[in-house]
Amino acid sequence: MDFPPMFRKLIEQCITTTRFLVAINDELCGYFKGTKGLRQGDPLSPYLFVLALEVFSQMLNRKFSEGSVGYHPKASSPSVTHLAFADDIMVFFDGEKPSLETIARTFDSFSSWSGLTMNRAKTELYTAGMNQNESNDLASLGFTLGSLPIRYLGLPLMHKKLRITDYRPLLDKLNACFTAWSTKALSYAGRKQLMSSVIYGSINFWTSTFLLPKGCLKQIQTLCTKFLWSGKITSNANVKIAWTTVCLPKREGGLGLRDFDSSNADTYFWEIEGSKAKGFPTKETWEVIRPREQLKDCASSVWFKGAVPRQSFTHWVTQYDRLSTRERLASWGLEVPLCCCLCNSMIENKDHIFLRCTWSEELWNMVLRRLGLSQLAFHTWTAFSEWLKLRIPHCSRLLKCLVSQATIYNTWVSRNIRLHDNNNSTPAQVFKIIDRQVRDTILGHRQQRKFSDLMQHWLAFE
């Protein structure tokens, strides 16, 4: 390749003078000399490998040019002899035994001076348009006979629309993840986080290459819906909020997950609203093609930096009035008592259990006193949402939202414990839990500027 002598000498020095340090108890203690050149993880290793592979490419191309190896019938114009992906090589030839023998000798010749050896047991031979005897004759040279379609890096190499059997590995992988997670006691927020990081990562890996069929997307959506709302995929889930709403951005009332139908198509957009992008702008593309709703005024009070995820999730579900209060259960035709689980007097609905119940009012009065505010000034959820947005002098809005979410969450938890375990907690006992949770949250974010003085405000009226 006509590299300058100085460059070749520097490369030789890098290969022949390798040393490896040993770390004991996080301290470097001596070294030993390498005898096999560069290690695989060395930053210089991939560049040297590409240079070495370029030599093999030239050797193989020469054999094709000389006629020693015949071109594949579908790869003769333009002439494509091979494709290389890192250390994986695909060689296309005419299926004749002499051609394969020449290719094998070329590999052996390359191995004799480079040290890079082909493992014939792991090298697969794929044939098309040949009978079984012809295929077996080629495989007798020491290669494993493979079958089409093949999978590479976890994806099937396909030139047509995927069939059920083609995307089944994706569904099996998602099923395995959901099944493993179903044994853990995960909150709604925990499930959502796993879905957005692990599940969507696997799906994006496939959609970056294929347009997944609608049947596949529907099955994935069903699995995600079941897991989000029940923690399991083996039983039907009590879906509280529609998937289309869940997939909206948080500022529009959703959870910020991506809709599968839309994200399945976004990799095919390269021109965004009339302007061409130099690279593929995933974020901008998604903003153009995703479903849209009006911005929700309450979103900033539900989702904010520093919020406890499970408390924000409960607040979000309550905002849509999707908690299983007794009034809602009765509206579904279930025969349940309508009285509130906390006060045993009025009908249990969202407004009552969180804001009007005597038990809740007593708890809110304790919370408001610690915030340095007057008595409870809201008795409907609409009024409560407006109160959260208000900027009150001498009262941090962040602290107000943080404490309010802890109050909503613990009120609902106390209601469920009383209903299912017959364990009656007093407002004073629940307030101690809220106090501890708020302190822990503030301490966990004390390095952030907006949290620096929250503890002082929270303890000012203790």
Checking if the pLDDT of 269 tops 60, the result is no
pLDDT at 325 over 70: yes
pLDDT, one tens digit per residue, over 58-111 is 999 999 999 999 999 888 778 888 988 877 888 999 889 999 999 999 999 988
C-alpha distances out from residue 317 to 255, 277, 347, 402, 456, Å: 10, 38, 20, 16, 31
Q: What does the DSSP 8-state code read for residue 247?
A: T
Q: How far apart are CA 462 and CA 59, in angstroms?
A: 82
236 Cβ contact list (under 8 Å, min separation 6): 226, 230
Q: Give the pLDDT score at 14.
A: 79
Q: Is the pLDDT of residue 278 over 60?
A: no
List residues bridging with 363 in a β-sheet. Answer: none
Q: Exposed e or buried b for every residue in 294-313, given b needs 16+ CB within 10 A?
A: eebebbebbbbebbbebbbb
Which pTM does this prediction carry? 0.68
- List, in sequence order, the alpha helices (H) in 140-241: 164-181, 188-194, 200-207, 214-230
Find which of 193-207, 217-231, 287-301, 428-442 is predicted with most confidence, using mean pLDDT: 428-442
Q: Give the model's pLDDT for residue 301.
A: 92
Residue 314's nearest CA partner among 350, 359, 365 is 350
Enumerate residues 6+ apart whose C-beta is below 8 A from 436: none
Q: What is the mean pLDDT of the chain?
A: 86
Res 272: pLDDT: 56
Task: State the pairing for strand pair 124-125/144-145.
Answer: parallel
Q: What is the predicted pLDDT for the residue at 265?
A: 60
Q: Which residue has the higher pLDDT, 276 or 128?
A: 128
How many helices (H) does the chain have, and how many strands (E)?
A: 20, 10
pLDDT for position 277: 58
134-173 per-position pLDDT tens digit: 888 888 888 888 887 788 777 887 777 788 888 888 999 9
Q: 10-45: string of b/e by CB count within 10 Å (b at 16+)?
A: ebeeebeebeeeeeeeeeeeeeeeeeeebeeeeeee
In this prediction, residues 425-439 reach a mean pLDDT of 96
The per-residue pLDDT for 258 is 83
Task: Give the separation between CA 104 and CA 97, rounded to whole angstroms.
Answer: 11
For the chain, the domains span 44-147, 161-292, 300-460
Location of structure tokens 């083609």: 166
For residue 157, give Cα distances in angstroms to 49, 167, 173, 277: 25, 11, 18, 28
Nearest to 308 by CA among 389, 408, 236: 408
pLDDT digits (tens, 9 = 90+) for 343-375: 998 999 999 999 999 999 999 999 999 999 877
Residues 6+ apart with CB under 8 A from 325: 348, 349, 350, 353
